[in-house]
Structure formats: structure tokens, C-alpha cells
């Protein structure tokens, strides 16, 4: 058996069957086992895929891979939108189950059809697009506003927190000065430029978006405290020790009361040791540290009661209202 004929490099890792035939690649070669057939009329070179312990990361990577494979089929008035756009922007998804690609068409053009593709129609007046990871995709603000009917208030806030994050300078802060993916003004404009499904949820989420949230779990913790009638904690504020030296940057905190709330994810090795050390340094300086995990987030009332007890211990008293999750 002869050596397998190489695919011309000019075709790239993803290519149309028609382009390959025009480049002299025979039909038999296009049926080779080293080529994937993600969509009708498309071939992609098989590649090893990195595995992740985080199902959200895996789903984002899979959606981006599929979008890259579908990109040669996009027409001039089509772009990736909705959940697929979230994955391309790197944002928090609503679910880690694999679904179809979301492709929108501007104006009255025909909706995309085919296996693994879900078509949407987009208004010219309410849509802007960008090129991200080499893919034509809804702008972050357009994408956020399009999810009003598909996401809960908390999911929309987490997505907005991700896009509007201001990358400040400070001790051990990553990417200082990096511009946000969107601004609050852009999200508001996208949500109100036309009649949208889920407009009420967008309006509810918008004032809860903050500019210094670092993770969806952090956002979820903040929102459950607000819903319980507790004061809103500050996010990722640098705190100092008695000598004025940098002490820590708690996920959420009431600095004037020396109460910190730390979300502990799936940590291993060095990162786990660093987080334990940070907690011990805070406690040594007289801070109350409440640690939250994915397990405790399943029981919001437990988290709220622990924070409420710490606030009371430090002298906080509610100004009317009631305590308890909505």
C-alpha cells in the first residue's frame, strides 16, 4: 500500500471539499480516516484534543472547535451567536451539555440548516459583530442581550461580570490594563435597542453587574448574599496588615469589619497551598474567613447564615428589612 498523500498545506486544517478537489485532492483521499467530517462539505484534519477536568472548559473548547470547522460555510450575512458566541468569547456557559452550533443570519436571508446547526434571525439595527479567534461572532454586548430568554438573572449577571471586568493593577493581579470585552453602557444599549425576548430578565440583571468579579462562583456567592438581605460585599479588594504591607485580596469582603469570604474551587498542589496560607494570614490579622465551595453553594441558606452570623459578631445590625433568601 502506498504512502498516504499529504493534504496541501494551503488548504489549512479545515477546508471545503470543493476547494480540496480543485487543489487536486482526489475523492478517495477525502474519505481518509485521518480526516473528520464535522459538517456536510467540510473536512478537518484529525487532531489530538486536550482533556480537562472541568466540563465547562471542555464544552467551550468543543464549541470553538466545531465553530472553526463550520466557519468556511458561513455566508457574508451569517455569524456565530448565542451559546456558541459565549464559548468563542471564553465566557461562562449556561450548561456543559453539548448542543448545536448557534448561527445567526442578518436580515431576511435564509436560515442556516443542517445537522448540528441551530439557525437564528438577527436584526440589523440590534446587531454588531467582531472577529474573535479568527471567527465572525456577535459582539459581546449583542451576544449578552441575545441570551435574555435563555439564561437566568444570575447567569446573565455572571456573563456580564465576565465581559465588563476592569483589569486593575495590584498585587498578583493578572493582565493589568487589559480592556474589558464590553462596558455597562454597551450592554444597556444592546438590551434596549429593540424589542427582545427576555427583556425583563436583562433589565433585572443589568444593575447587578460589577466590574471586578473574577469568577461565576464568586458572582453566585455575592448574589445569594444580596438576595438574603445582607449588605453587598466588596470584590477583590487589596487589604493590608497592621504594618501597611499587602496581606491578601479576598474574593469578597467587608473590610471595615474584617470579614472575608473565599471561594475554594478544585485546587491542587501549589495553588491549594497558597490559598491555605492566605486564609491563615488573614485569620492571624484578626479576620473572620468564611470559605465557600461548590458543595456549600448548593445550600445558599447555609452560606447566608454563616455570613450573617459573622456580621452580627462584628457589630453589624440590619436597618429594617428581613434576613432570608428570596
Judgement on whether residues 112 and 83 belong to the same structural domain of the protein? yes
Confidence of residue 38 (pLDDT cuts 50, 70, 90): confident
Kindly report, residue by residue over 179-232, the tens digit of the pLDDT.
Answer: 999 999 999 999 999 888 899 999 999 999 999 999 999 999 999 999 999 999
The residues, ordered by sequence, that sit 6+ positions from 12 with a Cβ below 8 Å of its Cβ are none
Kindly report, residue by residue over 245-289, the tens digit of the pLDDT.
Answer: 999 999 999 999 999 999 987 655 567 778 888 899 999 999 999
Q: Is residue 50 a part of any domain in this protein?
A: no
* Residue 192 CA to its chain's centroid (Å): 22
User: For 12-40, what is the mean pLDDT?
Assistant: 84
H/E element holding 84?
helix 82-89
Task: Give just the sign of the alpha carbon dihedral 305, 310, 312, 317.
Answer: negative
Judgement on whether residues 198 and 228 belong to the same structural domain of the protein? no
Q: Is residue 2 a part of any domain in this protein?
A: no
Judgement on whether residues 169 and 63 belong to the same structural domain of the protein? yes
DSSP string for 43-79: EEE-------S-HHHHHHHHHHHHHHHHGGG--TTEE
CATH number of the domain to which 264 belongs: 3.40.960.10
Judgement on whether residues 225 and 155 belong to the same structural domain of the protein? no
Q: Is residue 231 a part of any domain in this protein?
A: yes
Q: Note the pTM of the prediction, 2 decimals.
A: 0.87
Q: How distant, in Å, are the alpha carbons of 7, 71, 130, 163, 172 from that of 134?
A: 22, 9, 9, 19, 30
Q: Is residue 323 a part of any domain in this protein?
A: no
Judgement on whether residues 296 and 256 belong to the same structural domain of the protein? yes
As for how many domains the chain has, the answer is 3
Strand segments, DSSP code E, in the chain are: 14-16, 35-36, 42-45, 78-80, 101-106, 117-122, 129-132, 135-138, 234-235, 239-240, 246-248, 252-254, 259-263, 288-292
| Boundary residue ending a domain (208, 235, 256) | 208
**Boundaries of domain holding 276:** 216-313
Share of the chain above pLDDT 90, in %: 62
Kindly report, residue by residue over 121-154, the tens digit of the pLDDT.
Answer: 999 999 999 999 999 999 999 999 999 999 999 9
Q: Is residue 78 a part of any domain in this protein?
A: yes
Kindly report the backbone phi and psi dihedral angles of residue 104, in degrees, each rounded to the nearest multiple of 5, phi listed first: -105, 150
Kindly report, residue by residue over 278-326, the tens digit of the pLDDT.
Answer: 899 999 999 999 999 999 999 999 999 999 999 999 999 988 766 665 5
Q: How crowded is residue 263: how many other Cβ atoms within 10 Å of its Cβ?
A: 22
Amino acid at each position: 500500500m502506498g504512502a498516504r498523500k499529504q493534504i496541501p498545506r494551503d488548504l489549512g486544517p479545515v477546508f471545503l471539499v470543493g476547494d480540496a478537489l480543485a487543489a487536486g485532492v482526489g475523492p478517495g483521499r477525502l474519505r481518509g480516516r485521518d480526516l473528520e467530517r464535522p459538517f456536510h462539505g467540510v473536512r478537518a484534519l484529525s487532531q489530538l484534543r486536550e482533556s480537562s477536568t472541568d466540563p465547562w472548559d471542555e464544552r467551550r473548547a468543543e464549541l470553538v472547535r466545531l465553530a472553526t470547522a463550520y466557519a468556511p460555510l458561513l455566508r457574508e450575512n451569517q455569524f456565530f451567536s448565542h451559546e456558541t458566541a459565549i464559548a468563542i468569547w471564553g465566557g461562562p456557559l449556561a450548561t456543559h451539555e453539548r448542543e448545536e452550533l448557534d448561527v445567526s443570519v442578518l436580515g431576511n436571508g435564509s436560515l442556516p440548516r443542517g445537522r448540528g446547526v441551530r439557525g437564528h434571525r438577527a436584526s440589523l439595527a440590534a446587531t454588531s459583530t467582531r472577529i474573535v479567534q479568527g471567527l465572525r461572532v456577535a459582539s459581546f454586548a449583542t451576544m449578552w442581550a441575545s441570551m435574555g430568554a435563555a439564561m437566568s438573572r444570575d447567569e446573565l449577571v455572571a456573563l456580564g461580570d465576565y465581559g465588563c471586568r476592569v483589569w486593575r493593577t495590584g498585587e498578583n493581579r493578572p493582565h493589568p490594563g487589559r480592556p474589558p470585552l464590553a462596558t455597562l453602557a454597551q450592554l444597556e444599549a444592546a438590551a434596549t435597542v429593540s424589542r427582545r425576548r427576555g427583556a425583563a430578565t436583562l433589565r433585572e440583571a443589568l444593575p447587578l453587574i460589577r466590574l471586578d468579579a473574577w469568577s461565576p462562583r464568586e458572582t453566585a456567592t455575592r448574589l445569594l448574599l444580596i438576595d438574603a438581605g445582607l449588605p453587598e460585599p466588596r470584590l477583590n479588594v487589596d487589604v493590608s496588615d497592621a504594618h501597611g504591607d499587602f496581606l491578601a485580596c479576598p474574593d469578597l469582603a467587608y473590610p471595615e469589619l474584617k470579614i472575608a469570604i473565599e471561594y475554594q474551587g478544585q485546587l491542587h498542589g501549589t495553588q491549594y497551598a497558597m490559598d491555605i496560607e492566605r486564609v491563615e494570614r488573614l485569620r492571624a490579622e484578626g479576620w473572620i474567613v468564611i470559605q465557600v465551595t461548590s458543595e456549600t453553594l448548593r445550600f445558599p441558606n447555609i452560606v447566608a447564615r454563616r455570613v450573617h452570623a459573622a456580621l452580627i459578631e462584628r457589630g453589624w445590625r440590619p436597618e429594617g428589612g428581613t434576613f432570608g433568601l428570596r
